[in-house]
Structure 1
Amino acid sequence: MKRWFPAPWFSVALAILWLVLNLSVSPGNLILAVIVGFLAPLLMAPLRPLPVHIGKPGVVLKLFVLVGWDVLVSNIEVALTLWKARRRPPRSAFVKVPLDLRDANGLAALSIIATVIPGTVWSELALDRSVLLVHVFDLEDEASFIEHFKTTYERPLMEIFQ
């Protein structure tokens, strides 16, 4: 069954999405929805990453709340920095963050988190996945930024994915 339907819920979601986007449940659209729902996951199966096994679901919720809070706080901090830019320009810098996280899914989640937080951008990952280069819009203290990044984002992701 997995051979023909590698992601059954994805197939159902694609079929429903097809019907919703076309605003029609005509026989032709139903047939096309089934074809898209069947073929797309089948053709994309080789591109799927390894299955994810979430170790601690409670940590996922805690991380979600922490990231949401950091997004709010960072939005305010970036806005205030821009407001005061004439008096004190932002101190932008690239920071090399040493990584302990090696899981590909965890690194993908970390890249999303680093890019979603206003004022930070995931810039480069070393080939051996040991160092992450992050651009920070307004950096006060590099050591405290690295500590915050590792404790708030990397360690929970390690608990979740490793």
Structure 2
Amino acid sequence: MKRYLNLLVLPAVLLAIWLLLNDSLSPGQIALGAILAVLLSWAASALRPLRSSPKHLATALRLIVHVAIDITKSNIAVARIVWLGRRAHATPGFIKIPLRIRDAHGLAALACIVTYTPGTVWSDYSDDDGLLTLHVLDLKDEEAWFQTIQQRYERPLMEIFE
């Protein structure tokens, strides 16, 4: 029963968005929206063969709070570097961080977290040895980056996705 309810979530959301965008509850708009919602849901299912089942909602919420705090701190640090220029003494560099996470959804979430954080760029990931190459705008303490990526981000993502 739960499987069938999950199949109806995307069409219901698409239908609701269709009706809101058209600002109409006429029978014609409902019928057209329902047909489009079912067809688009069916087409989208073929694009996503790998399914995910996240667990531990509390861990996910804590991770979201940590990421929001880190993004805010990073915005301030990058603004400081941009405003001060050479006086900021920024030391950009690359760092290789070994990762234990193998779930594709967890790696994608980690890539988003790193990319959303100003001053960091996900440069490369080797699937063979699990090495993440990260470019950091101000790389003064490599051990702090190891701790941040492995403990603050990777560990909760492993709890959520693996």
TM normalised by structure 1 equals 0.87
Distance 1:48 1:87 in 2: 48
Q: How does 1:77-92 map to 2 (within 5 A)?
A: 77-92=77-92
Q: How does 1:28-67 map to 2 (within 5 A)?
A: 28-67=28-67
Amino acid of the structure 1 residue aligned with 2:24? S
Amino acid of the structure 1 residue aligned with 2:121? V
For the residue of structure 2 that corresponds to 1:18, the secondary structure is helix
Q: 1:4 to 1:161 in 2, by over 3 A?
A: closer
Task: Write the deviation string for residues 109-131 of structure 1: whole angstroms up to 9, x where unpaired.
Answer: 11111111111122222133601
CA contact (8 A) 1:6 1:42 kept: no
Amino acid of the structure 1 residue aligned with 2:93? A
CA contact (8 A) 1:95 1:135 kept: yes
User: How many residues are matched?
Assistant: 162
Structure 1's unaligned 5+ residue stretches are none
Q: Does 1:93 align with 2:76?
A: no
Task: Report what 2:21 is aligned to.
Answer: 21
Q: 1:128 to 1:5 in 2, by over 3 A?
A: farther
Q: How does 1:93-112 map to 2 (within 5 A)?
A: 93-112=93-112
Distance 1:75 1:131 in 2: 26
Task: Give the fraction of aligned pairs with identical amino acids, expressed as a percent.
Answer: 43
Amino acid of the structure 1 residue aligned with 2:101? L
For the residue of structure 2 that corresponds to 1:135, the secondary structure is strand
Per the TM alignment, residue 159 of structure 1 is displaced from its structure 2 partner at its CA by 1.3
Distance 1:84 1:50 in 2: 46
TM normalised by structure 2 equals 0.87
For the residue of structure 1 that corresponds to 2:86, the secondary structure is coil
Per the TM alignment, residue 58 of structure 1 is displaced from its structure 2 partner at its CA by 1.8
Q: 1:154 to 1:29 in 2, by over 3 A?
A: same
Task: Write the deviation string for residues 49-96 of structure 1: whole angstroms up to 9, x where unpaired.
Answer: 533233322211211111111111111111111111132353222222
- Whose helix proportion is higher, 1 or 2? 2
Amino acid of the structure 2 residue aligned with 1:19? L
Distance 2:32 2:125 in 1: 41
Structure 2's unaligned 5+ residue stretches are none
